[in-house]
């Protein structure tokens, strides 16, 4: 769409003049539109009736179409809206229209555009085509008023488990009834055919503190009328930002069903002491000219190139414009809504650097106002270039400008396992030299440390985090190869046992590093995705976790569980100030590649352990290190771990087995 083809504001654009001047005049025209930040946008129902208010400053007329069903019927009524303050249009009906559906339609540039449920639909019918008028209080599960997520003082006390609803429950081995649904996470006591815990019981057994659910707002790709065909999608194709996805509900045609079932999921997890983090994708929409943004305020919510075409920092065909007031309001109010209405405990921002730092700071401020335990993290990069100046982007390199926000460390990710997009490339844990300094950057959570030389870093060349609470450490996620597949593709010829050792070493580095650990669901039982790196629409046969693996790889599961227990028991792994990291972490001089040895000293962060010694050997060979003489507890050695200790050591010359972590601790 060429934005110049529409009269944005009469007389504000010099149409037919491409280039920077046209773009600048577009920008100033958008900037001159009045913003509206009231909490009553689109729909409110009270004792006086049902009230509609659409923000559509460029429209010449706006109407509401009322329906008695969610699709396939003609409008039962049409209401003309009247111009109101700050670019909005309003109309009221003196009755509570619960149970009805509605859409908006705007006249723009002399033409009626397609109908849209608006951008603020909090309830929708099948495929999100029509918004629904629902009494939200009626969707609350019993006890909802007392529902609360886990208290979080610092984000790095959290252990994040990233999962997709279908991956987690859809496999026949899950023993879960509501496969691929929100309700899967409400089922207690589920077991695999082999008797292992699955579902919420599995999460409790593993010990993670929060699940991060892949996009669960209403997305575009899965046809909600064809659920038996079991189509799969990650959901990074937003359609309605403020209503849950219908395919995860038991009945997409019932607007209440998806809302109530998602709340029931949140409540069951909260009752189990587990928090819920939502993956949010405000950076782009599934559609361009036909998105709900475009159909309510054409052009306004997006960035454009000088020729008027959509700019595309998302790699998905468009990018939103968080620097414009109404878009910024939208993002801030939307996350606030999820926090208030659904009791969401954290937000993961997809391609966060498409947003500006000011918007992200406002997001954090608003969320902390709802609940101080809420935290925010995101991908500190874009997928393509953006018209937004680099210094304004919420990049990982700009994270110091965003207090209370954390970014994924691609530094530690690629250094441990090898480059994410080069399948055969190895990393520190799989024997490739040259990644040691970047792993150290990960260990100190990208904060300034006197013994870490950022010039030797593979990715970032400076200490970009102002505190370890600004870093999310991980070795894999839903994107790219799973850790298991990466090891299969890079450790060619190695045994399965060797690969599992490498996985343990990799996660030991992640879970003992400063910052917040993040893991991909199922890696604790060595799940794979049959080598598919971009499984966003692959079938369940690729994406589903086979829970029989929990028995087959029981040693792996037990290792992960102990690793998590170790981290939770010891605040030394969870320092909150960069100065403490610089003071308490001391790296040892070691000979040769693929070997890192360091201590966390002097009861760091109030730990009962005076000193923790960690040695990581990513090479194929056993390596000898010198440990200070003393009374050490052996916590991890040769692919085994126990947070209470697996033995003792007097120190001195010590062999560290190939591809393994040695962890020792002493109280005196």
Contacts with Ca ion, residue ranges (CB under 5 A): 218, 246
Please, which residues have CB within 8 angstroms of residue 541's CB and are 6 or more apart in sequence?
A: 530
Return the number of the residue (282 or 557) whose C-beta is nearest Ca ion: 282
Least distance (Å) between residue 658 CB and Ca ion:
48
Return the number of the residue (121 or 441) whose C-beta is nearest Ca ion: 121
Q: What are phi and psi of 198, to 5 degrees?
A: -130, 180
Question: Which one is catalytic: 187, 319, 345, 379?
Answer: 379
d(CA 489, CA 560): 22
- Tell me which residue has tokens 């579902």: 199
Least distance (Å) between residue 598 CB and Ca ion:
48
Return the number of the residue (161 or 232) whose C-beta is nearest Ca ion: 232
First to last CA, the chain: 69
d(CA 610, CA 368): 34
3-state DSSP of 388-408: CCHHHECCHHHHHHCCCEEEE
Please state whether 110 falls in left (phi above 0), alpha (psi between -120 and 50) or beta: left
Q: What are phi and psi of 387, to 5 degrees?
A: -70, -15
Residue nearest to Ca ion (CB): 218
Least distance (Å) between residue 227 CB and Ca ion:
11
Least distance (Å) between residue 171 CB and Ca ion:
23
**3-state secondary structure (DSSP) of residue 358:** helix
Counting Cα atoms < 13 Å in the Cβ hemisphere of 348 gives 23
Please state whether 630 falls in left (phi above 0), alpha (psi between -120 and 50) or beta: left
Across 298-398, the runs of DSSP E, i.e. the strands, are 346-349, 375-378
**3-state secondary structure (DSSP) of residue 186:** helix
Burial class (CB within 10 angstroms; exposed 0-12, middle 13-18, buried 19+) of 40: middle
d(CA 426, CA 288): 39
Return the number of the residue (124 or 463) whose C-beta is nearest Ca ion: 124
Question: Which one is catalytic: 345, 350, 437, 524?
Answer: 350
Please, which residues have CB within 8 angstroms of residue 173's CB and are 6 or more apart in sequence?
A: 192, 193, 198, 546, 547, 548
Least distance (Å) between residue 246 CB and Ca ion:
5
Largest CA distance in the chain: 84
Instruction: Decide if 667 is catalytic.
Output: no
Least distance (Å) between residue 466 CB and Ca ion:
39
Least distance (Å) between residue 278 CB and Ca ion:
15
Q: What are phi and psi of 92, to 5 degrees?
A: -130, 155
Instruction: Decide if 323 is catalytic.
Output: no
Least distance (Å) between residue 127 CB and Ca ion:
6
d(CA 249, CA 268): 16
Residues in the chain: 668
**Interhelix angle 496-512/483-490, nearest 10 degrees:** 130
Return the number of the residue (128 or 431) whose C-beta is nearest Ca ion: 128
Return the number of the residue (224 or 345) whose C-beta is nearest Ca ion: 224
Return the number of the residue (243 or 664) whose C-beta is nearest Ca ion: 243
- Known catalytic residues are 350, 379
């Amino acid at each position: 769409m060429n934005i110049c083809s529409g009269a944005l504001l009469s007389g504000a654009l010099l149409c037919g003049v491409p280039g920077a001047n046209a773009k600048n005049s577009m920008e100033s025209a958008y900037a001159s539109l009045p913003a509206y930040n009231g909490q009553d946008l689109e729909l409110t129902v009270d004792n006086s009736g049902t009230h509609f208010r659409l923000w559509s400053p460029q429209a010449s007329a706006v109407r509401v179409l009322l329906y008695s069903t969610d699709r396939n019927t003609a409008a039962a009524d049409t209401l003309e809206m009247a111009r109101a303050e700050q670019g909005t249009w309003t109309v009221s009906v003196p009755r509570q229209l619960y149970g009805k559906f509605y859409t908006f339609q705007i006249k723009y540039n002399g033409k009626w555009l397609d109908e849209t449920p608006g951008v603020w639909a909090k309830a929708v019918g099948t495929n999100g085509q029509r918004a629904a008028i629902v009494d939200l209080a009626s969707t609350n599960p019993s006890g909802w008023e007392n529902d609360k997520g886990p208290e979080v003082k610092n984000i790095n006390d959290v252990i994040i488990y990233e999962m997709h609803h279908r991956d987690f429950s859809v496999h026949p081995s899950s023993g879960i009834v509501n496969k691929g649904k929100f309700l899967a996470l409400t089922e207690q006591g589920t077991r695999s055919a082999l008797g292992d815990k699955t579902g919420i019981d599995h999460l409790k057994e593993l010990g993670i503190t929060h699940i991060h659910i892949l996009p669960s707002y209403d997305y575009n790709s899965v046809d909600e009328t064809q659920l038996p065909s079991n189509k799969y999608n990650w959901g990074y194709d937003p359609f309605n930002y403020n209503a849950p996805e219908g395919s995860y509900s038991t009945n997409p045609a019932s607007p209440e069903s998806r809302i109530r079932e998602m709340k029931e999921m949140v409540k069951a997890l909260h009752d189990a002491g587990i928090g819920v983090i939502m993956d949010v994708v405000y950076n782009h929409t599934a559609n361009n000219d036909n998105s709900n943004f475009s159909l309510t305020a054409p052009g306004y919510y997006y960035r454009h190139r000088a020729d008027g075409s959509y700019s595309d920092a998302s790699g998905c065909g468009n990018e939103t414009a968080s620097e414009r007031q109404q878009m910024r309001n939208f993002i801030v109010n939307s996350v606030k809504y999820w926090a208030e209405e659904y009791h969401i405990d954290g937000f993961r921002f997809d391609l966060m650097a498409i947003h500006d730092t000011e918007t992200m700071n406002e997001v954090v401020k608003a969320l902390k106002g709802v609940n101080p335990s809420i935290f925010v993290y995101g991908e500190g990069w874009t997928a393509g270039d953006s018209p937004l100046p680099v210094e304004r982007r919420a990049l990982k390199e700009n994270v110091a400008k965003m207090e209370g926000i954390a970014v994924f460390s691609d530094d530690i990710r690629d250094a441990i396992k090898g480059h994410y997009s080069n399948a055969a490339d190895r990393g520190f844990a799989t024997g490739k030299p040259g990644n040691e300094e970047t792993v150290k950057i990960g260990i100190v959570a990208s904060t300034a440390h006197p013994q870490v030389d950022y010039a030797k870093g593979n990715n970032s060349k400076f200490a970009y985090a102002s505190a370890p609470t600004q870093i999310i450490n991980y070795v894999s996620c839903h994107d790219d190869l799973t850790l298991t597949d990466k090891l299969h593709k890079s450790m060619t010829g190695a045994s399965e046992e060797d690969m599992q050792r490498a996985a343990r070493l990799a996660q030991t580095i992640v879970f003992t590093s400063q910052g917040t650990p993040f893991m991909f669901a199922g890696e604790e039982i060595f799940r794979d995705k049959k080598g598919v790196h971009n499984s966003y629409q692959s079938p369940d046969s690729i994406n589903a976790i086979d829970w029989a693996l929990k028995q087959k790889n029981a040693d792996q599961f037990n290792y992960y569980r102990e690793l998590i227990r170790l981290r939770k028991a010891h605040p030394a792994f969870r320092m909150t100030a960069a100065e403490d990291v610089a003071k308490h972490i001391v790296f040892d001089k070691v000979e040769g590649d693929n070997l890192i040895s360091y201590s966390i000293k002097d009861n760091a962060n109030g730990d009962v352990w005076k000193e923790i010694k960690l040695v990581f050997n990513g090479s194929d060979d056993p390596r000898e290190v010198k440990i200070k003489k003393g009374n050490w507890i052996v916590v991890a050695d040769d692919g085994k771990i126990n947070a209470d200790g697996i033995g003792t050591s007097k120190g001195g010359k010590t062999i560290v087995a190939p591809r393994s972590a040695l962890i020792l601790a002493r109280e005196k």
